[in-house]
Amino acid sequence: MKVYLKIHRHNDMETIACCDEALLNKILTEGNLRLEIGSTFFGGDLLAIDKAIEILSEASYFNIVGENITNMAIAQKLLPKEGIRKINNIPMAMKMMF
């Protein structure tokens, strides 16, 4: 399995965006919610999911979208399953450490 992963750096902060390979450039809508999985934010390197999990495990901030990456993040205890929100039945999650 592969995912797209992009690291955004601003000053001393890094935010990592990661999505399942098949979701890049998709738009999810449900009611008044809209999630654009655009290449500008998510379209970084195409990586094996294990490598992406390794990078995400070191991150203080991340946004992840997709069944594969969210399931793996839960399995690796990067976030609890209660932290998952679904839009059009596609799981997504955000991690923020202050």
Measure the CA–CA gap between 35 and 33, rounded to whole angstroms. 7
Domains in the chain and their CATH numbers?
A: 2-96 (3.30.1860.10)
The DSSP-derived string for 13-59 is EEEEEEEEGGGTTEEEEETTEEEEE-HHHH-SEEEEHHHHHHHHTT-
Please report the pLDDT score of residue 98 as a whole number: 63
Q: What's the predicted TM-score (pTM) here?
A: 0.93
pLDDT tier, 30 (very low <50, low <70, confident <90, very high otherwise):
very high
What are the percentages of helix, strand and coil residues in the chain, rounded to 5?
A: 30, 45, 25
Distance, CA of 79 to CA of 31 (rounded, Å): 26
**Residue 62 to residue 42: CA distance in whole angstroms:** 11
